[in-house]
A and B are shown apart, each in its own frame.
Chain A
């Protein structure tokens, strides 16, 4: 077995030595950890992880290879991978390749065989920070110098790197509902969840205006997930404010939830470590029920700002740290969650939120029809 050395250097100067995986090279980004034990391929292709070096806390990664049906975008989006044990080989009859091959294809640099637990404990205490991995340059001082040029995630807009350039369609045009999806870095499974629920979806680039969207004549608007700091996206925030005013049903997920919040004058903040994993406990405050959810966010909507806003209600709370996990507008069919009801990877406990969105669209359509009828009647 040929082994190449690799090194990981953190912003605070901490160094870990391990073995090279993926492409031989150098990569940098904000380091974060994900605690999921399954679904690495879905995670690595999730655009919300763009520019992030990801530590997988589970002991083995790569065991079941990669599968063409388990990608959340067309390529790996993480900036780098850090693992304990990495399997170059795999066993799964339906797999079409190894994770090593997939990483090489998408030029992702990684490091394995390091004490990931020590690393997680370290950043748990110190908070999120930047890091650099290299398997081509092992001189720590040079890497430290390189690390200085990596921008902080705070205030960084990243959606523009992963959003679609041109609008595209998904689903059947004759479907029951027309959904305009604003793509801040959408996961494919969000689209799948909508299409499965009888939606015809048109995916728009991140800064699309309400007027452009309205040409599609949508029954509802989906604000997708995505990477980066929501506060650095003024255009999107202003557009979403317009969309809310229009009264069209809106459903926001993750970054979409944060942008929706900012459009309503709420505040967002960077978290100490964020939530990344598929075991996050949420309580739905409207029903009192719990949900195990898939999460991936480093920013959050502040609870204080919701408490101060009489138009908005907190609907979901994270049970571990009592942060905001979901909200709705009191007078409009507009709601959003910080987590990922589309899962992939993760449990399916929260899929009902898509049903909720469909129900909101159905109701709005009904009302719209009623209004039209009213208009007709009044004209008469």
Chain B
């Protein structure tokens, strides 16, 4: 069936603020959906409360509503626009839940809105664990022994029948909230109680824990003609027992025979057909017994675009959300083209001639005291994907992408050798288990013990063992006598020059020179959905070490935009938003744009975004090789957060042009000593501060500065390890603590201005002229990280005198730093005097917020300034200023039940929402204003 022409206007529901379990993958799917529907001539209306999204850009949809994801907002939209259909499958569980709520209230019916992409009954069945179990029984799909409990008593009875270990999974929750494995009876009561409370319908499913079973996921697409294709098979490196969002995953499946895979494929198709009749995407999870029987058991099915489908899209090159949107409006798969080859059919199953490894990124450091063990409830905040021509290469590249201070898996002198610690970690997985498996093999812990404790498939463990064997061979050589074959093998297996340098006891640059001399060069291969069977039109590349290079360099002038790597607290979707706009602005100026990033959840790694996408670690070696290959006129580093920025120094040293603000100016702002000298010269007030390298020095300095003091290590992200101390004991303790965790780091002590008000300004500067795009005032007093504060645009109670000072200081600093591009300055205001806390000459978290609130493309403007194509004076600024916009921080505390909500200088929020109010009499504002001191920790 071709397109349904009765659908002229479609509403897409977004996923709201970023929380654990629902991150920027839904901006990727939402943007794809909007674009996909627009190209069909459909009027697209979009609702999302998250301003830092590409999907809410005015260019993405005809009507954009930055409203809370609530029934009232939907009604408001339906009253204003004639909407023919709603597509609720692109915004995660949040969008589905909202769609169900509206359906229950009869809203869709009242306004004549058709639900497309899924049917409500299908969501009901998959979310209601009891009816899902019954349905699976009917169609003969096996599941783990399980039963639902609606009361505490019922739950106790079931547990008595099943025995331990067992799993508790609350119905209708996100990212496994409240789900847990109970190993012993003693823990059961508490966890059951929590599960029942977390489920919105107060129902939990109890099932027998299939610990150690192999875990797989399939991504499906179905059209109105009931054609079903499997886009991707994903195998979990970590067996059952760890949430798939917290598991290391691999595609294609590595240890699955065709017999078992086809059985699984048949079951998945049967399941999708059984839950309802709809056209769209679907994710199905299975467990397979690791014995001879290879029994397959269905775990769950999600009738919507998911985190895994974003990963599958990036892993295969098949844009699931884009195609699912077309199916939702009536197209059949055989009527659509493969988006990569543009000649073959969309009705097919992608095949890979490479391997991808996804590793989650955790942020446990932000939640001291929390249980860092992984389980059924997702705890990671982001992820990276490595692509290679072998599992080992993909694994090393994924490790290099993580930005956890490692150069890959092993070979960096940071192995753990404490046997007891390793043994504990193998059986109690946390974020570092992968590294500990490596360490354990290296230490000589028997393979059998490792296997027993981890239950990870032998094949994967042997792959890691092989790496260690290779390292032992390499270690026998020095840089002067390492044979070419061995060097080539190490590079093919994904070892970074830095790792090889460690093994050969020499410098990274020596390895680089040596391998270049040997003619061992990175080549680039295409992700093409078809293993090279057909010519591909889409420039989506990854690197490897092989014979042929497929990335042809054009004679066009080009620029590179460095991405922001994995999402983490303090560096999230806002930076991807800026990167995408940087790319688009450079395109407008006639540049060929090259994007480098390794985060599969993002819009920046959508192959439709930049002219060329290199899906590579934002890691020096990979970036340098791409630059050598492409020879761009310059690199944009100020859009990709700290990840990109911290590479500026090395780029500068290697003579690579940094577009916009120079490295020297970036360094000047970051180096506290140099920066305060500058402030002194300019006559700008700042809190008294000092730099120390030991606890003794800190105590001495404290007498000078006076308590309370703000203590923090230099060069960190999101206020990591930042704390306010009020006495010498606390100071000493915290300084020792920092030095223990980050040896040789400098520590900054600032006099903390108690009771001060905080504000921040973002501006665009071309080196001469400055335009302040917005000033935001925080609601909470100074002491809470700006990312965790409610903030209001424009300020709600700063007087003219203060505003004047902020404007003047912003102008002065921007010009003094010779900023070319964006700058963000943070202020503390006390007794009408404005102090500068810090300045960051780069895109900040707040820029997308201001751009959305004032409806002007500031990142686009700033990028054009960076490129030297435009001056500040060339733009006609006309911000839409009406009432106030409140930035609402959003936390994922429910994922860390053992951590108190306590705010301080270290950022803890995972996302943000925007809320517009007309006047300060607004009850929402009044409420948060009255609670402004509630959560400030000591």
Residues on A facing B (Cβ under 8 Å): 1, 16, 33, 35-39, 42, 57-60, 63-64, 67, 69-70, 84-85, 87, 89-94, 114-118, 120-121, 124, 273, 277-281, 283, 288-290, 292, 319-321, 343-348
Contact = CB atoms under 8 A, between A and B. Distances in A.
B262 A118 contact: no
B266 interface: yes
B291 interface: yes
Interface in B261-291: 261-262, 265-266, 290-291
Contact of A281 (B266, B345, B458): B345
A93 to B, nearest CB: 5
A120 B294 contact: no
A319 B347 contact: yes
30 contacts: A1-B469, A36-B258, A37-B233, A38-B252, A38-B257, A39-B257, A57-B532, A57-B533, A58-B352, A58-B353, A60-B254, A63-B254, A67-B257, A84-B389, A89-B462, A93-B291, A117-B548, A120-B532, A277-B351, A277-B533, A279-B350, A281-B348, A288-B225, A289-B225, A290-B229, A292-B230, A346-B262, A347-B349, A348-B265, A348-B266
Contacts of A283: 334, 347
B390 interface: yes
Contact of B348 (A67, A279, A348): A279
B525 interface: yes
B226 interface: yes
Contacts of B225: 288-290
A59 B352 contact: yes
Interface residues of B, number: 57
The listed residue with most A CB atoms (<10 A of its CB), out of B225, B390, B532, is: B532
B344 A319 contact: yes
A42 B348 contact: no
Nearest to A287: B225
Nearest to B227: A290
Contacts of B350: 279
Nearest to A125: B535
B391 interface: yes
Nearest to A122: B548
Contacts of A344: 258
Nearest to B223: A290
Nearest to A36: B351
A84 B353 contact: yes
A18 to B, nearest CB: 10
Given A39-B257, A124-B533, A84 B292 contact: no
Contacts of B259: 67, 69-70
Contacts, number: 168
Given A273-B533, A292-B230, A320-B345, 5 more contacts: A35-B533, A57-B532, A64-B257, A93-B294, A289-B227
Given A115-B547, A279-B351, A290-B227, A58 B531 contact: yes
Interface in B339-366: 343-345, 347-355
A37 B218 CA distance: 14
B255 interface: yes
B253 interface: yes
A59 B262 CA distance: 20
A320 to B, nearest CB: 4
A59 B291 CA distance: 25
A124 B352 CA distance: 16
Nearest to B348: A281
A1 B290 CA distance: 28
B376 interface: no
Given A118-B547, A118-B548, A320-B344, A93 B290 contact: yes
A118 to B, nearest CB: 4
Contacts of A118: 546-548
A275 B49 CA distance: 49
A339 to B, nearest CB: 13
A290 B334 contact: yes
Interface of B: 225-227, 229-230, 233, 252-259, 261-262, 265-266, 290-294, 332-334, 343-345, 347-355, 389-391, 457-459, 462, 469, 525, 530-535, 546-548, 550
A57 B531 contact: yes
Nearest to B266: A348
Given A1-B469, A344-B258, A115 B348 contact: no
A115 B533 CA distance: 15
B495 to A, nearest CB: 16
A281 B334 contact: yes
Contact of A117 (B227, B291, B353): B353
Nearest to B294: A94
A285 to B, nearest CB: 11
9 tightest A-B contacts by CB? A39-B258, A118-B548, A319-B345, A57-B531, A91-B458, A38-B258, A290-B227, A279-B349, A115-B547
Nearest to A114: B547
Given A120-B531, A343-B262, A348-B262, A89 B459 contact: yes
Contacts of A281: 334, 344-345, 347-348
Contacts of A36: 258, 351
A60 B391 CA distance: 8
Contacts of A288: 225
Nearest to A89: B462
A17 to B, nearest CB: 9
Nearest to A90: B459
A59 B542 CA distance: 14
Nearest to B1: A288
Contacts of A87: 459
B564 to A, nearest CB: 29
B296 to A, nearest CB: 14
A38 B253 contact: yes
A121 B291 CA distance: 39
Given A117-B353, A118-B546, A290-B347, A347 B533 contact: no
A16 B266 CA distance: 39
Contacts of A345: 258, 262
Contacts of B332: 290
Given A35-B533, A38-B256, A319-B334, A59 B391 contact: yes
A280 B462 CA distance: 33
B131 to A, nearest CB: 28
Given A58-B352, A60-B254, A91 B533 contact: no
Contacts of B548: 115, 117-118, 121
Contact of A292 (B349, B457, B532): B349
Contacts of A42: 258
Contacts of A273: 533
A213 B545 CA distance: 57
B849 to A, nearest CB: 43
A38 B262 CA distance: 9
A135 to B, nearest CB: 17
A37 B229 contact: no
B869 to A, nearest CB: 38
A133 B698 CA distance: 70
Nearest to A94: B292
